[in-house]
Amino acid sequence: MNACVSNWITRGFPLWSCLSAVLAIYHPPLFLWFGSDAIGWGLGLIMLGMGMTLRPEDFLRVWRAPKVIALGVGLQFLVMPGWSAFLAWALKLPPEMAVGLILVACCPGGTASNVVVFLAKARVALSVSITLCSTLVAVLLTPWLTYLYAGHYLPIDPWALFNSIVVIVLLPLAIGVGWNQWLPKSARKVAVFSPSISVLFILLIVGFVLADKRDLILAHGWMLLGATGLLHLGGFLGGYWGAKWLGRDELDKQTLSIEVGMQNSGLGAALATKNFSSMPMTPAPCALSAILHCMIGSFLASWWSRRNIKSTELQEDS
């Protein structure tokens, strides 16, 4: 697999997500072999790959544009958790489904948002910076916000969630950064393919959860689709209007919309599977989230990319 193939796989991520969802529901054995125990390992490899693309200078970049990055992270953890809690209450979701919806809403942004921002021709560096910061902040905020908003539905152990995030997210990310710092040549070689490997593991994680929970998902299909779809529509709109309200330009508004609207659904599925194993419905909103946010994000990316290309051409002609 060369770099061109890797880029092709990465750019086609929204399409592969939809395709894997259809296959998982239509023929579950295609994904059931992956197994629930492999979800944490798969997500750890994704975080390792993300870390290998980062250098210490990337962390310093945060301080060069702290306001807009803080805005993106703030909107991420204000809009989505609160909106998910409102939807769970307004739609009278069953407790297990409500916890799953709130859990994925409390997760940080994922690498999928970086791909969609790239396709939209918005600000990729800003997107990566917000994803990085939200991932680091999520070590503390995801367990606490999940406990705050979902603790009245079911017993939730925030320390267990915290420990899971440290092992699944923080540790592999730190190893990846260290690898890139001390063994840069090998890290660069691996980092070329890490985005496509990340796409593969996200598809396997989401496909497994959809296949494993197929009967439950089909039984509650419209309720799940409605709740998860409204969650992400609210995130995309909240990110865009929040940035607009604070006077950001169009590319910043598009970037923040995508960052807020797209969650690390793979992390949500991993946390739900590991920490709520006795609640079979909890991972389902996380898996469905991965499909719906890619579909909405892809539509916006297609629309915005045409607008951004036209805007650039007009500026060059003037």
The answer to whether 65 and 126 are in contact (CB under 8 A) is yes
- The Cα–Cα gap between 291 and 15 comes to 9
pLDDT at residue 317, rounded to an integer:
55
Q: What are the residues whose beta carbons fall under 8 Å from the beta carbon of 44, sequence distance 6 or more?
A: 167, 168, 171, 172
pLDDT at residue 143, rounded to an integer:
95
Provide the residue type at 264 as one letter. N
Torsion angle, alpha carbons of 95, 98, 99, 103, to 10: 180
pLDDT at residue 316, rounded to an integer:
54
**Which portions of the chain are predicted below pLDDT 50?**
none
Residue of 39, 9, 15 whose CA lies nearest to 213? 39
Q: Is residue 24 part of a domain?
A: no
- The Cα–Cα gap between 116 and 104 comes to 19
Q: Is residue 7 part of a domain?
A: no
Q: Is residue 21 part of a domain?
A: no
The answer to whether 52 and 176 are in contact (CB under 8 A) is yes
Residue 188 structure tokens: 């660069």
Q: What are the residues whose beta carbons fall under 8 Å from the beta carbon of 293, sequence distance 6 or more?
A: 112, 232, 235, 261, 262, 263, 265
Residue 108 structure tokens: 């940080």
List, in sequence order, the alpha helices (H) in 12-94: 13-26, 29-32, 37-52, 56-61, 66-90
Q: Is residue 6 part of a domain?
A: no
What letter does residue 63 receive in the DSSP assignment? G
Q: Is residue 279 part of a domain?
A: yes
pLDDT at residue 63, rounded to an integer:
67
Q: Indicate the pTM of the whole model.
A: 0.84
Radius of gyration of the chain (CA): 18
pLDDT at residue 87, rounded to an integer:
97
The answer to whether 215 and 56 are in contact (CB under 8 A) is no
pLDDT at residue 71, rounded to an integer:
92
pLDDT at residue 61, rounded to an integer:
64
Q: Is residue 51 part of a domain?
A: yes
Domain of residue 106: give its range.
30-308
pLDDT at residue 59, rounded to an integer:
66
Q: Is residue 12 part of a domain?
A: no
Predicted confidence (pLDDT) per residue in 105-135, tens digit: 999 988 778 778 877 888 877 888 888 889 8
- The Cα–Cα gap between 307 and 315 comes to 12
Torsion angle, alpha carbons of 173, 78, 308, 10, to 10: 30
DSSP three-state, residue 276: coil
Q: Is residue 210 part of a domain?
A: yes
Q: 289: domain CATH number?
A: 1.20.1530.20
- The Cα–Cα gap between 159 and 30 comes to 34
Number of structural domains the chain divides into: 1
- The Cα–Cα gap between 3 and 11 comes to 12
